Structure 1
Amino acid sequence: MKLLVKALSTLALALAISGSALAQEYVKGEVVKIDTKQKKLTIKHEPLANLDMPAMTMVFVVAEDAMLEKVKAGQAIEFTADRVKGRITVTGIK
């Protein structure tokens, strides 16, 4: 019985890790607009699988103010996005 519990715990942990890895996949996009006052980026992007969202142009808040300084309008980027406190947020840019 202990072996079964240990095996199920390991499986649950593996599934949790793989699910969070999926959420961190980078997606290609293009910066359309930067709003430094509101700390937002408008990005034309490919589908966001982790958010079940099709390709579109939309406004995102950024997780860190420094992200706004990394980009300029018209720039091609790769980014990650997730729901943070109920808002769809850019969590990484490369």
Structure 2
Amino acid sequence: MKTYRRRQMTASIALAVGLAAGAVARDKERPVGEAEGVIRGVDAQEHKLMITHGPISGGIDMPAMTMAFQVAPSVDLSSLEKGQSVKFTVTRDDKGRYVVTAISRQK
């Protein structure tokens, strides 16, 4: 019985390590794009931004448009406001949504 439990525990640990390694690999493989735009709205409660942006270049190829973006929890929205010109970095999350991972105000 001890051998069975040891094997079961070893298999569980191997599975957990494999899943974690897969998650890290997926994060490294996610496309990243950059663009410039103008903030049209800030929803701090939902952690979202409405941005009219130029084409997104890099790993994400998107034409110019106005759209709402989810914003990563690590991004501080407190200094952003409607009408500001910004440069931002965007990627996609596990659900395929576009997420702003970095943003800076343009002068």
Task: Report the TM-score range of the alignment, normalised by the length of the smaller protein.
Answer: 0.5 to 0.7
1:73 counterpart = 2:82? yes
TM, length-normalised to structure 2: 0.60
**Unaligned 5+ residue runs, structure 2?**
1-28
What is the total number of aligned residue pairs between the two structures?
73
**Unaligned 5+ residue runs, structure 1?**
1-19
Compare CA radii of gyration and give the structure with the larger one: 2
Match of 2:38 in 1: 30
- The aligned runs of 1:1-94 (5 Å cut-off) are 23=32, 26-49=34-57, 50-64=59-73, 66-85=75-94, 86-94=96-104
Pairwise CA RMSD: 1.9
Residue identity matched to 2:93:
V
Q: Matched residues in 2 for 1:75 and 1:59: separation?
A: 15
1:69-88 deviation line (CA, Å, top 9, x unaligned): 13111000100111022210
Q: Matched residues in 2 for 1:27 and 1:69: separation?
A: 20
Q: How far 1:65 moved relative to its partner?
A: 5.6
SS at structure 1 position matched to 2:40: strand
Percent identical residues:
38
TM, length-normalised to structure 1: 0.68
